[in-house]
């Protein structure tokens, strides 16, 4: 590690209770063979960060955070695609750790790499390391806000593309938190016809309409189903994105009831515990149920690249979902705000 590189850094660790503890003496992330060093500038708080904190039984020893944008400060010898000073969105989960040699890597599905590098920490800290393959250049005019939104948008861009949405399809989205809103934006930008979405909170409903939903309904059972039937002469949506997940199959059932016969249901929401689901109805309806996780290469382009193009185009005001910004020194307030939707929060960003 060069002399100019700090020997320690600021970062936040969850204490397995209620606190994100700010530290100024964390060790620098490991610079494993072939890795680049990134100075983190902006990191989003994901719903999965909230869920994992709730489930954690031991204090963190390494910072989390995977919705990351930053500046490259060191690259491995021989690297030519990425240079020091580049502003990048960091793909922390797949291509940033991928071996680039296994069958899945050769297929462009880095999320499923069978020989990933060990985790070296995430974006709730000043520095992180990942392989250059996981660093996607941001246009000079793109803000750090948009840079840190590439990851959540890519999740839904992948769902739309992996799911095979056809131009003109009537789309329904169950839930309008970050990933549901990303699904609305992605579907609209990739050619959906009508889009119907459900939203639990007023700020989510407003954002859903801004991002391209033609009809926004509440979250009570039956509302989304009825709206989809009204928009399609009683058939139901061609493709439904379930974006909520949870501990019951309620939203899966709602997605099935919203979808037309022989339509597609794409599950993006995280079901962190086993749920019971009756497959008889979707079987009789010949509905396809696809599960979508993270991102990869579809039709020759990585979902991060597609997402950067969408954000850079200026066609979609996705940055408006960032309702709150906090400095790293106030990350605890950021997490409390992200939990409490009465604050009007949708997406909370941490400025590093």
**Domain span including residue 335:** 8-137+317-351
147 within some domain: no
Q: Are residues 74 and 106 both part of a single domain?
A: yes
Residue 245 and residue 337 share a domain: no
Q: 251: which residues sit within 8 A by CB, 6+ positions away?
A: 174, 175, 242, 244, 245, 269
pLDDT tens-digit map of 172-205? 999 999 999 999 999 999 999 999 999 999 999 9
What's the pLDDT tens digit per position in 278-311?
999 999 999 999 999 999 999 999 999 999 999 9
Instruction: Decide if 145 is inside a domain.
Output: no
In a domain, 150, yes or no: no
Q: Which residues of 102-121 are buried (b: 16+ CB within 10 A; e: fewer)?
A: bebbeebbbbbbeebbeebb
From the number of C-beta atoms within 10 Å of its C-beta (0-12, 13-18, 19+), residue 341 rates as middle
Amino acid 3: pLDDT: 54
The model's pLDDT over 222-249, given as tens digits with 9 standing for 90+, comes to 999 999 999 999 999 999 999 999 999 9
Residues 170 and 263 placed together within one structural domain of the fold: yes
Same domain, 100 and 222: no
Residue 114 lies in a domain: yes
Residue 242 is part of a domain; what is its CATH number? 3.40.50.720
Q: What is the 3-state secondary structure (H, E, C) of 300-339?
A: CEEHHHHHHHHHHHCCCCHHHHEEEEEEHHHHHHHHHHHH
Whether residue 245 is contained in a domain is answered as yes
110 and 207 housed in the same domain = no
What is the C-alpha to C-alpha distance for residues 20 and 22, in angstroms, rounded to an integer? 6
My answer on whether 268 and 188 are in the same domain is: yes
How many separate domains does the chain show?
A: 2
CB atoms within 10 A of CB 41: 20
Residue 146 lies in a domain: no
* Residue 208 shares a structural domain with residue 120: no
309 found inside a domain: no
Q: What CATH number is associated with residue 48?
A: 3.90.180.10
* C-beta separation of 179 from 268 below 8 A: yes
| Closest residue by Cα to residue 241 from 184, 279, 320, 296 | 184
The DSSP bridge partners found for residue 72 are 38
Which residue, 22, 26, 14, is CA-closest to 57? 14
Please tell me whether residues 109 and 160 are part of one structural domain: no
How many CB atoms within 10 Å of residue 286?
9
The answer on pLDDT for 6 being more than 90 is no
pLDDT at 1 over 70: no
Which of 276, 291, 306 delimits the end of a domain? 291
The answer to whether residue 171 sits within a structural domain is yes
Tell me the per-residue pLDDT of 113-155, one tens digit each, with 9 for 90 and over.
999 999 999 999 999 999 999 999 999 999 999 999 999 999 9
Q: Answer yes or no: do 167 and 287 share one domain.
A: yes
Using a 10 angstrom Cβ sphere, with 0-12 exposed, 13-18 middle and 19 or more buried, the burial of residue 172 is buried
């Amino acid at each position: 590690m060069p002399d100019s590189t700090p020997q320690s850094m600021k970062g936040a660790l969850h204490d397995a209770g209620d606190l994100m503890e700010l530290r100024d003496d964390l060790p620098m992330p490991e610079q494993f063979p072939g890795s680049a060093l990134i100075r983190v500038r902006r990191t989003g708080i994901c719903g999965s960060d909230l869920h994992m904190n709730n489930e954690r039984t031991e204090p963190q020893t390494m910072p989390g955070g995977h919705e990351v944008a930053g500046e490259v400060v060191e690259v491995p010898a021989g690297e030519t695609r990425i240079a020091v000073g580049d502003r990048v969105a960091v793909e922390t989960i797949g291509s940033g750790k991928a071996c680039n040699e296994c069958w899945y890597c050769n297929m462009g599905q880095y999320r499923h790499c069978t020989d990933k590098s060990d985790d070296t920490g995430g974006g709730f800290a000043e520095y992180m390391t990942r392989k250059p393959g996981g660093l996607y250049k941001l246009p000079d005019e793109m803000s750090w806000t948009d840079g840190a939104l590439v990851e959540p948008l890519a999740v839904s861009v992948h769902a739309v593309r992996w799911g095979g949405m056809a131009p003109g399809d009537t789309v329904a989205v169950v839930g309008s938190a970050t990933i549901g809103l990303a699904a609305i934006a992605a579907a609209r930008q990739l050619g959906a016809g009508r889009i119907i979405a459900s939203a639990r909170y007023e700020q989510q409903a407003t954002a859903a309409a801004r991002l391209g939903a033609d009809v926004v309904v509440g979250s009570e059972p039956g509302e989304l189903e009825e709206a989809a039937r009204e928009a399609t002469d009683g058939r139901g949506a061609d493709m439904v994105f379930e974006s909520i997940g949870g501990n019951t199959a309620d939203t899966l059932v709602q997605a099935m009831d919203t979808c037309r016969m022989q339509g597609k249901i794409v599950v993006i929401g995280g079901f962190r515990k086993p749920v019971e689901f009756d497959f008889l109805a979707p079987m009789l309806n010949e509905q396809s149920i696809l599960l979508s996780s993270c991102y990869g290469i579809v039709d020759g382009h990585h979902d991060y690249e597609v997402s950067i193009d969408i954000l850079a185009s200026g066609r979609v005001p996705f940055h408006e979902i960032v309702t709150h910004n906090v400095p790293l020194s106030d990350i605890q307030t950021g997490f409390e705000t992200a939990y409490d939707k009465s604050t009007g929060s949708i997406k909370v960003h941490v400025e590093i």
